[in-house]
């Protein structure tokens, strides 16, 4: 019997055969779509090690801002303003340097998280810690990362600490815990949320950015680029993610949709049988001629319209303890 591992439903569940297309091995994996909560989940979790090769982290799309921006002092002053909205000088510097504002993570500004530059921040599934290095650049001082898949602990001169650690091995609590497109890789989502709950205090925030079952799944099915077989184990709907959070005594305070043109161009490539890592792929080759001029702008506009309607294929959830 086909059982949804999120809501236990057994009725009207469907199996979709999908292929590995990031590296283009085209190995086949079945995904189950729940007829009740809509979660799409891998039917059997395979040995995933071969699907995280050494170059996997180079697929990390975070921009290493620390390496590209030079004027550190300005960033610090602007950072104080960006995190709190306070400070005349910071406001002035931010006004003079729009790139500083653009590169500051919007999900930290879109919702009041009550954090300051001393807040204890954990990035779970942080890879080598590019985002934390970026936050350090803006003046955050208490930054920790954890990732079970890195080679070894990393201690940056900036003070950013990255531990090779599983969730259940982390013991201290944090003011803000963030998961940026890592939650969908966790084999036991409910247990993971319970473990995260353990690391939160009364006023702590949890920020989870994940792909979501939405318009792009309806349009592209198994060619949807964010299915990412077999690495993405669970693809939630907004409804099923809320249900899951509830099971872990967490409440969703806000949801912001943040999908972009990737849902279109990545999926269109898969329809054409072109892996993400293909030399012809837009991922490697920004000058690729795969798509007509202007197409990318149209897709970006379409993504923004989908986001406004709660139909984009990625969202940021803001959660607190019940
Ligand atoms: Zn279900």
Q: How close is the Cα of 37 to the center of ligand 1, in Å?
A: 4
Q: How far is CA 321 from CA 50, 162, 200, 240, in A?
A: 36, 25, 8, 18
Query: For the sheet containing 14-19, what is the strand order?
Result: 14-19, 28-33, 40-42, 234-235
Q: How close is the Cα of 43 to the center of ligand 1, in Å?
A: 13
What contacts 102, CB < 8 A, 6 or more positions away? none
pLDDT digits (tens, 9 = 90+) for 179-189: 999 999 999 99
Q: Tell me the β-bridge partners of 177.
A: 122, 206
Q: How close is the Cα of 237 to the center of ligand 1, in Å?
A: 10
Distance of CA 264 to the CA centre of its chain: 18
Beta strand residue intervals within the chain, DSSP E: 14-19, 28-33, 40-42, 121-124, 143-146, 154-155, 161-163, 174-180, 200-211, 234-235, 250-257, 314-321
Q: How close is the Cα of 4 to the center of ligand 1, in Å?
A: 5
pLDDT at 60: 52
Name the burial class of residue 161, with classes exposed (0-12), middle (13-18) and buried (19+) by CB atoms within 10 angstroms of its CB: middle
pLDDT at 107: 93
Q: How close is the Cα of 242 to the center of ligand 1, in Å?
A: 12
Name residues with Cβ closer than 5 Å to ligand 1, which is an ion. 4, 6-7, 9, 34, 36-37, 39
What contacts 50, CB < 8 A, 6 or more positions away? none
Beta strand residue intervals within 87-237, DSSP E: 121-124, 143-146, 154-155, 161-163, 174-180, 200-211, 234-235
Q: How close is the Cα of 305 to the center of ligand 1, in Å?
A: 28
Q: How close is the Cα of 221 to the center of ligand 1, in Å?
A: 18
pLDDT at 71: 65
Q: How close is the Cα of 247 to the center of ligand 1, in Å?
A: 13
pLDDT along the chain (322 residues), means of 10: 94 97 97 98 94 70 49 78 83 83 88 94 93 92 93 92 94 97 95 97 97 98 98 97 97 97 97 95 87 93 98 98 96
pLDDT digits (tens, 9 = 90+) for 17-48: 999 999 999 999 999 999 999 999 999 999 99
Q: How close is the Cα of 161 to the center of ligand 1, in Å?
A: 37
**Residue tagged 């509830």 (tokens):** 246
To the nearest 5 percent, what fractions of the chain are helix, strand and coil? 35, 20, 45
Q: How close is the Cα of 8 to the center of ligand 1, in Å?
A: 6
pLDDT at 61: 45
As a whole number of Å, the end-to-end CA separation of the chain is 34
Q: How close is the Cα of 63 to the center of ligand 1, in Å?
A: 35
């Amino acid at each position: 019997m086909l059982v949804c591992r999120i809501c236990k439903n057994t009725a009207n569940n469907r199996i979709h055969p999908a292929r590995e297309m990031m590296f283009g091995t085209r190995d086949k994996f079945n995904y189950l779509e729940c007829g009740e909560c809509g979660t799409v989940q891998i039917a059997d979790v395979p040995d995933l090690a071969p699907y995280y090769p050494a170059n996997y982290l180079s697929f990390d799309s975070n921009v290493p801002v620390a390496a590209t921006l030079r004027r550190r002092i300005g960033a610090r002053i602007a950072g104080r303003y960006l995190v709190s909205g306070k400070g005349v000088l910071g406001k002035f510097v931010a006004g003079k340097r729009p790139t500083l504002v653009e590169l500051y993570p919007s999900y930290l500004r879109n919702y009041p998280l009550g954090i300051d530059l001393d807040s204890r921040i954990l990035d779970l599934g942080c890879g080598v810690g590019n985002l934390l290095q970026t936050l350090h650049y803006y003046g955050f001082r208490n930054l920790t990362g954890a990732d079970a898949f890195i080679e070894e602990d990393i201690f940056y001169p900036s003070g950013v600490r990255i531990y090779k650690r599983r969730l259940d091995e982390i013991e201290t609590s944090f003011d803000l815990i963030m998961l940026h497109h890592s939650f969908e890789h966790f084999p036991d989502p409910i247990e993971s949320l319970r473990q995260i709950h353990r690391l939160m205090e009364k006023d702590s925030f949890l920020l989870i950015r994940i792909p979501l079952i939405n318009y792009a799944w309806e349009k592209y099915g198994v060619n949807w680029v964010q299915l990412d077989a077999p690495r993405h184990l669970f693809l939630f709907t907004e409804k099923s993610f809320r249900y899951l959070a509830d099971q872990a005594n967490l409440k969703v305070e806000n949801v912001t949709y943040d999908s972009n043109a990737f849902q279109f161009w990545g999926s269109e490539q898969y329809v054409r049988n072109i892996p993400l890592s293909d030399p012809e792929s837009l991922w490697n080759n920004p000058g690729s001629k795969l798509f007509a001029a202007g197409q990318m702008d149209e897709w970006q506009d379409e993504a923004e319209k989908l986001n406004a309607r709660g139909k984009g294929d990625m969202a940021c959830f803001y959660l607190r303890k019940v």
